[in-house]
Amino acid sequence: MTQSQIIALAVALGVCIAVFELVRRRRLSEEYSMLWLVAVVLIGVVGVWTGLLHFITRLMGAMYDTSVVFFFGIMFAFAVLIALCVRITLLTRQARRLAQEVALLRTELDALRGTPERRDP
Amino acid sequence: MSALRVLAIVPAYNEEEALPITLAEIRRVAPWVDVLVVNDHSSDRTAEVAAACGVPVVTLPFNLGVGGALQAGFGYALAHGYDVALQFDADGQHDPAFLDAVVEPARRQAADVVIGSRYVAASAYKAPPLRRAGMILFAAIASRAMGRRITDTTSGLRAYTRPVMRFCQEELPHDFPDAPLLILLHRAGFRIVEVPVEMRERIAGESFYTATRALYYPFKVGLASLVVALRSRRSLPRVREDA
């Protein structure tokens, strides 16, 4: 086994343990952990089985193995970022609606309790 | 004066100075209108000042911007059975004497959204040149997207009927309820009408359209307008009839 293969395996194993630990401590949902576990398996497979990487490089007409690794790495990072932005947009919208609902309920509650002065419509 | 129940929604962010004057003027000039202040998480005494004037106040737990405040106001108007909601600035720019004119097309059922426009008729209102240029640009974009002339997309004096309020509970394009909202409402099949109004100088507070937002605003509104114009009709929420 070459040094680079050992490093790839170590990284894959390390990320794998980290993800499991996060899920175990309820800090990462199973939903997201799946994504990272799949990524880790791919890193491990391509890292150890260099023949596969050479094959993909030829298939893509790429010059170097490294550029193929970087290509997929960056694509993966992009996909994750976009997915997260979509998620944030949804959460923002939900938070807005919740804030409005809470504010309206508070106003109704104050009116029922008769705390602040209020002109009847 | 009117059989319709009309609620003036006053979005207020740090408007403790101008708000009492504005509220008193509405009550004096247009007593047929109920008022709701939506306090957009102000850091000053906006909520206390409004409550002292005897109007209901909805205080948002964090800052949502004009669009979010308006949406909350619509929620209140829907729950309390108002027929028409008015959007009215807290800073004293709007003259309540025009409220009747702004409600009138909705009363005649000739429109679902009424915009009080500074530019339909010759107006004394003078905006700084850059802002004026932006206003003209967005009026042109909105007019083009809607196939009809819209002169004032940034006017904060508007009337909305119940179906529009209900529609806006599901959808509100972004923080500024300007050109994109108008295009969206037009595409959803609502009738939008402009009536001429005069606007004054603000009493206090700062314009929402500050220098820091000067670059961000045109980009965001432009993009939002484009997206709205490209959305298919089917993807728009359906407007249910009044129950």
Nearest CA-CA partner of B125 in B90, B153, B89, B93: B93
| DSSP sequence for B204-234 | SS--SS-GGGTTHHHHHHHHHHHHHHHS-GG
Q: Which residues contact B160 (CB under 8 A, 6 or more apart)?
A: B74, B84, B85, B86, B87, B112, B113, B168
Average pLDDT, chain B: 84
H-helix or E-strand spanning residue B113: strand B113-117
Residue of A nearest to B33 (CA): A121
Confidence band, pLDDT 50/70/90 cuts, at residue B181: confident
Residue B211 clears pLDDT 60, i.e. is over it: no
A31-40, B68-77, B210-219: least confidently modelled range: B210-219
**Per-residue pLDDT at B213 exceeds 90:** no
- Per CB-CB distance under 8 Å, the chain A contacts of B58 are 103-104, 106-107
Average pLDDT rounded to a whole number, residues B44-48 = 93
Question: Residues B125-167: pLDDT tens digits?
Answer: 666 777 777 778 888 888 887 777 888 888 889 999 999 999 9
Q: Which long-range contacts link A114-117 to residues 24+ away (Cβ below 8 Å)?
A: A116/B51, A116/B57, A117/B51, A117/B52, A117/B54
Closest in B56, B59, B71 to A118, CB measured: B56
Asked whether the predicted pLDDT for residue B239 surpasses 60, the reply is: no
Residues of A in Cβ contact (< 8 Å) with B174: none
- Picking from A100, A108, A109 by the largest number of B CB atoms within 10 A of its own CB, the best residue to mutate is A100
First-last CA distance in chain B: 26
Q: Nearest-CA residue of chain A relative to B168?
A: A97
- Provide, as residue numbers in chain A, all residues whose Cβ is less than 8 Å from the Cβ of B5: 121
What element of type H or E holds B140? helix B129-146
Contact B11, B70 (CB under 8 A): yes
Q: Which of B34, B68, B75 sits opposite A104 (nearest CB)?
A: B75
CB distance B74 to A104 below 8 Å: no
- B161 forms beta bridges with B84
Token pair in block for residue B211? 């220098």
pLDDT digits (tens, 9 = 90+) for A6-34: 998 999 999 999 999 999 999 988 888 88
**pTM, whole model, 2 decimals?**
0.81
Smallest Cα distance from B38 to chain A, Å? 9
Q: Which of A100, A102, A107 sits opposite B57 (nearest CB)?
A: A107
Interchain CB distance below 8 Å, B62 and A104: no
- How far, in Å, are B77, B92, B238 from residue B87 at the CA level? 12, 13, 23
- B56 and A96 within 8 Å at the Cβ level: the answer is no
